[in-house]
Amino acid sequence: MDFVKMEGLGNDFVVIAGPLRPAAADVAAWCDRRLGIGADGVLVVTPLEPAAVRMEYWNADGSPAEMCGNGLRCTARFAVDEGMVAGPEFTVATPVGERSVMVRPDGTVRAELGLVAFPDRPVFEVAGYRLVAVDVGNPHAVAIVDDCYSVPVGAVGPIVEGDPHYPERTNVEFATVVGRDRIDVRVWERGVGESIACGTGAAAAAGAAYRAGMVDGDVTVMLPGGPLLVELGGDRVWIDGPTRRVFSGTI
């Protein structure tokens, strides 16, 4: 079975043409960074029609996820590179609905994530951090902090991920507002661990800061893997940044 290793800001994926539904054990084995290909997750991209594909995503531990922002951008690039779609602008069907994408000649991809929603639950505190629940097609808990680089993400992240507020676990973001047009963010990904980039995490953190009146509608989110542009202010949120094919092979 052929695959392509892809990455968006260092958020990396094993990408396979579908239809396919891999076993959780296979996903975990492929994502193993010592004994496998090494990735944050597995994407299966299935052509539907000349202007649409379907994306399915599994975390590195084999668990399925509703949405993956950088995975969506890599799916778009893969679909264009593999000739699955007729043009650079098309639709990706996901478990949480259809999403519009645009692939540029330089490999950057702009992708729609849908609504940034704030579930009807109180702001809560875990391990001394004040967190707000955010939904971008998948669950997030965002803490706005003075210095995200001093947060012990590896210790606090798994505590928040498994908090009772989230029976199906959550992604966690620690965000520092640098200016009206920039925030710095570190992410603990559900089923992955600390990652150097997360598209939905960037959107969730930007959305929380925007709702608090701390940033404007267009925000550069600086992640350890690099900058991702998040466009807010309308009825949809968009993310925009680079993608790259790393290598291809056969499983």
What positions carry a catalytic annotation? 68, 198
The pair of structure tokens assigned to 138 is 């998948």
Pairing of strands 2-8, 218-223: unpaired
The pair of structure tokens assigned to 106 is 């330089």
- Evaluate whether 223 touches 147 at the Cβ level (below 8 Å): no
Residue count of the chain, please give it: 251
Pairing of strands 124-126, 97-103: unpaired
